[in-house]
Amino acid sequence: MAQPAKTPVVFAPWEDETQKPVIQFKNVTKRFGNFTAIDNLSLDIFEREFFALLGPSGCGKTTIMRMLAGFEAATEGTILLGGKDISPVAPNKRPVNMMFQSYALFPHLSVWDNIAFGLRRSSMPKDEIGARVDEMLRLTRMEKFAKRKPHQISGGQRQRVALARSLAKAPKLLLLDEPLGALDKKLRHDTQFELMDIQEKTGTTFVIVTHDQEEAMTVASRVAVMDHGKLIQVATPAAIYETPNCVYVADFIGEVNLIEGNAKKVGADKYEVSWAEGQTALRGTCPREIADGTRVTYAVRPEKVAISADKPKDAANAVQGTVHDIAYLGNISTYHVMLPTGQIIKAQASNTRRLANRHFTWEDKVWLSFTDTAGVILTE
Amino acid sequence: MRRFSWFNATSLTLGFAFLYLPMLILIIYSFNGGRNVAIWAGFSTKWYGELFRDQAFLDAAWVTLRVGLMSSTLATILGTMAAYVIVRGGRFKGRTVMSGMLYAPIVMPEVITGLSLLLLFIAIGLDRGLVTIVLAHTTFTMCFVSVVVSSRLVTFDQSLEEAALDLGCTPWDAFFSVTLPIIAPAVISGWLLAFTLSLDDLVLASFVSGPSSTTLPIKIFSAVRLGVSPKINALSTIMIAIVAFGVITASLINKRSVTKRLKDEQEAAAS
């Protein structure tokens, strides 16, 4: 699920001190009556980024987007766009465009007029509008449907028109609110790559709101995981997946085995977690300093757990158990292995051989092993 | 296809006879040649001719038409504005009470509305005439327009307006270039409703009309009290024709747009 590098040069403006962020949230709080939707949030987003806001519904991700578009005002704090405070700027004056979850295409206008709608209200000369609309139609491969009304095209086509319309004014920032929510799974996948392609071609900064972790991982350069109006972790998809900073993030993104225990320092960033009587302590990594005896959670991803019949030599961690359940998914199988303590650990194995040649079956005694870098120690 | 049933046929015939027999008799007698309305004396269109030579009736018709056009237009503007604020204005204080109060005049007895308007016009020293009838009819029909328009606004996707703002519209521009075209059918039918209500109102008009501004319903009512003349039958037949024409045209336009939309959607799904 980790994202392949788009360009040979690593794109990471958030690590470069000289880069100025295009959007800055400074201690922003938003309250609706007694309900706090956004809680003292600070965030920098850089130019050309594809930034994903990820979280369960009601976590405040849509509120952030609506504040950027200008439909909501922050209760406290400031939001800067290109270094300027945007709170006094009306939505129609902001160099920001939004692609709505419902697409919000104007039903009484044709596809062509929908895309031209924003341009007609800008300072663009009339003769250039036609060329720009045609360019947008080409970009989204909708040339053939220019004269149709929105109710005369399919859902996927509507989604592309909505994208073309929001990109037509060449905004500094494009906001996408669950843009692929209404599409079926296969079309979603194709469209995700199309979105990345268009983002790269136009060089626009994209901020996408989604509750689909796979979608966020696929398209984004950085992902912000949110909960209850707070940012829990902001990092690249790979960092979020490999080194989550808390149990919430580890559990929210992908599958994970979580084991509670007490930490003891054994190396520079290595710790041992004693988790049950009579069981060998598990060795894992944590970049932060942890005091000995702290209650921690040991997290390891199922695909990083190897399964074998004999005890592997030189493995940092090895535990024995019996196969409790097998989930066959075609390309991979997930083994649910029950440890003597009653705990279930999931291990994934690629099905490189045919099903008939499978090594393990129900009630087999097996060994699970994983390295001390695969095991991440979480303090919260 | 359902089989023919005597029960269905009988109930249908009875029902429609109940609804349309009085009107049918009125139409037939409007072509009566004789002076007596109850005795048939051969086919003739002479009462139509008489009607068009009667200046008092023509004046009343002209007043009614002007009152209808002005009051329904005014009621449509005010009613649409009110509906927009009630549905879209967010949760401001007193919204529930105000939306209730907006619709209350529908159930208010017209006699009371008429009397209170009369008192108001006397208090502010406004002479009774065309203006007072227009104002009274606007008051009375505005809430009907609000009901029709707000039911359309409730189902209207608010993100369409936000999209218009997002693409650079001022709130005014967004209303006129996005909201209004989409709710136009409701606004038009609200206008038609207001116009019809104004056309046949007798109670309010009799309170607030002046000597120089008799509307058609008042004229008919006072003429009938002196004895039913075949001229009234002719006039009523013309009014029935106008209303029928309006209703049939409106429903045909509506039906055509619905079938076209369905067809378009089927084509889109197939492509």
Sequence ranges of the domains in chain A: 13-95+171-247, 256-378
CB B160 within 8 A of CB B182: yes
Which residue, among A32, A65, A100, would best test binding to B if mutated, counting the most B CBs under 10 Å from its CB? Answer: A100
How many structural domains compose chain B? 1
Share of chain A above pLDDT 70, in %: 96
**Measured CA distances, A360 to A13, A312, A313 (Å):** 47, 16, 20
Judged by CB atoms closer than 8 Å, whether chains meet at A106 and B164 is answered as yes
Q: Looking at residue B236, what is its pLDDT?
A: 86
A vs B, Cβ pairs < 8 A, gives 69
Percent of chain A with pLDDT over 90: 52
pLDDT band at A186 (very low <50, low <70, confident <90, very high): confident
pLDDT (tens digit, 9 = 90+) per residue, A206-255? 999 998 888 899 899 999 999 999 999 999 999 999 989 999 999 888 88
What are the E-state strand segments in A55-95? 76-81, 84-85
pLDDT of residue A231: 93
More confident residue, A267 or B165: B165
* Chain A residue at shortest CA distance from B157: A104
Domain A13-95+171-247 CATH (choose: 3.40.50.300, 3.60.110.10, 3.90.1260.10, 1.10.10.10): 3.40.50.300
Instruction: Give domain A256-378's CATH number out of 3.40.1190.20, 3.40.50.150, 2.40.50.140, 3.40.50.300.
Output: 2.40.50.140
> In this complex, do A106 and B160 lie within 8 Å of one another by their Cβ atoms?
yes
- Judge whether A13-95+171-247 and A256-378 match in fold: no
pLDDT of residue A331 exceeding 90, the answer is: no
Q: Do A152 and B267 touch (CB under 8 A)?
A: yes
**pLDDT for B143 beyond 80:** yes
Cβ atoms of A156 and A208 within 8 Å: the answer is no
Domain hosting residue B69, numbered range: 44-235
Angle at B250 between CA B248 and CA B254, to 5 degrees: 115
pLDDT tens for B28-53 read 888 888 877 777 888 888 888 888 88
Whether the pLDDT of residue A380 is over 80: the answer is no
Task: Name the residue facing B157 among A90, A104, A121 (closest C-beta).
Answer: A104
CA dist B193 → A95, A295, B181, B237 (Å): 44, 73, 19, 20
Distance from CA of A375 to the nearest CA of B (A): 46
Q: Is A32 on the interface with B (CB under 8 A)?
A: no
Interchain contact A132–B (C-beta under 8 A): no
Q: Which two tokens stand for residue B211?
A: 């000597």
Chain B residues bordering chain A (beta-carbon distance below 8 Å): 157, 159-160, 162-170, 173, 178, 181-182, 261, 264-265, 267-269, 271
Which residues lie closer than 8 Å to A138 by C-beta, 6 or more apart? none
User: How are beta strands A173-177 and A96-99 bridged, if at all?
Assistant: parallel
Question: Region B144-170: what's the mean pLDDT?
Answer: 90
Cβ contact B268–A154 (<8 Å): yes
B175, B165 Cβ separation under 8 angstroms: no
Q: Which of A97, A104, A122 sits opposite B160 (nearest CB)?
A: A104
Distance of CA B151 to the CA centre of its chain: 17
Q: What is the structure's pLDDT at A4?
A: 52
What was the pLDDT predicted at A224?
94
Tokens 């009462």 belong to which residue?
Answer: B47
| CATH classification at residue B188 | 1.10.3720.10
| Chain B residues inside the 8 Å CB shell of A93 | 168
C-alpha pair distances (Å), B194 with each of A273, B79, B189, B213, B243: 79, 10, 9, 20, 13
Q: What is the ipTM of this complex?
A: 0.80
* Residue that the structure tokens 């006072």 belong to: B222
Residue B256: inside a domain? no
Place of tokens 């209808």: B68
How many whole angstroms separate alpha carbon B187 and alpha carbon B174?
A: 17
* Mean pLDDT to the nearest integer, A272-282: 87
Q: B268: which chain A residues are within 8 Å (Cβ-Cβ)?
A: 148, 151-154
Enumerate the H helices of chain A as residue ranges. 61-69, 111-120, 126-139, 155-167, 185-202, 213-219, 237-242, 247-252
Select from A100, A107, A153 the Cβ nearest to the Cβ of B182: A107
pLDDT of residue A322: 92
> Between chains, do B178 and A106 touch, taking CB under 8 Å as contact?
yes
Residue B240 within a domain: no
Residue A3 pLDDT level (bands cut at 50, 70, 90) = low
Per-residue model confidence as pLDDT tens digits over A278-324:
888 899 998 888 888 889 999 999 999 998 888 888 888 999 999 99
What is the average pLDDT value for chain A, to the nearest integer? 88
Q: CA A66, CA A79: separation in Å to the nearest integer? A: 12
Q: Are A102 and B158 a contacting pair, CB within 8 Å?
A: no
pLDDT of residue A1: 45
